[in-house]
Amino acid sequence: MELNICVAMIQILIIEDDRDILQNTAELLELEGYSTLTAANGKIGLEKTKLYSPDLILCDLRMPEMDGFSLLKHLKQDSDTKKIPFIFFSAKSELIEIKMGLDAGANDYVTKPFELEELLLSIENCLDSREQA
C-alpha cells in the first residue's frame, strides 16, 4: 500500500499527437498508480512542463508545432527543467533514431508499439536515476 501512495505522487507528462495513443498510455499509467498530464504536441508540452513541473516526461518524436527533439533542446537549456527525466517513445525504431534521441539528452527511448512492462521499467529506471543524482 505504501508503494501505491508513493507512485501516485509521481506525475508523468505524456506528449503525443496521436489521440488514441495519448489516451491509452495515460490510462495505462493511471491504472499503475501514476498521475498523468497530457499534451498533443511539443509546444503545449513545453507550456505544461513549465506550469506543472512533472516528475518525468514521456514524449513522441515526430509531432506538429514542435517535435520531440526541439522540445528536449528547450528543456535542457532551462535550469528549471533540465533535470526532468525524459523518455522518447516513438514508432521510429531504427538504431540511428534511437542513438539520435539518446545523444540529444533523453534518458531512454522506448519504441511503439511498446509492452507495458518495458515502459514501466524505463520509467522506474529514470526515476531511480534522478533520485540518485
Q: Where on the phi/psi map is residue 37: left (φ > 0), alpha (ψ -120 to 50), or beta? A: beta
CATH class of 2-132: alpha beta
Instruction: Give the start-to-end residue ranges of the domains of the chain.
Output: 2-132
**What's the pTM?**
0.90
Q: What percentage of the chain reaches a pLDDT higher than 90?
A: 74
Indicate the helix (H) or strand (E) that contains 72: helix 68-76
Average pLDDT, the chain: 90
pLDDT tens-digit series, residues 59-75: 999 898 899 999 999 99
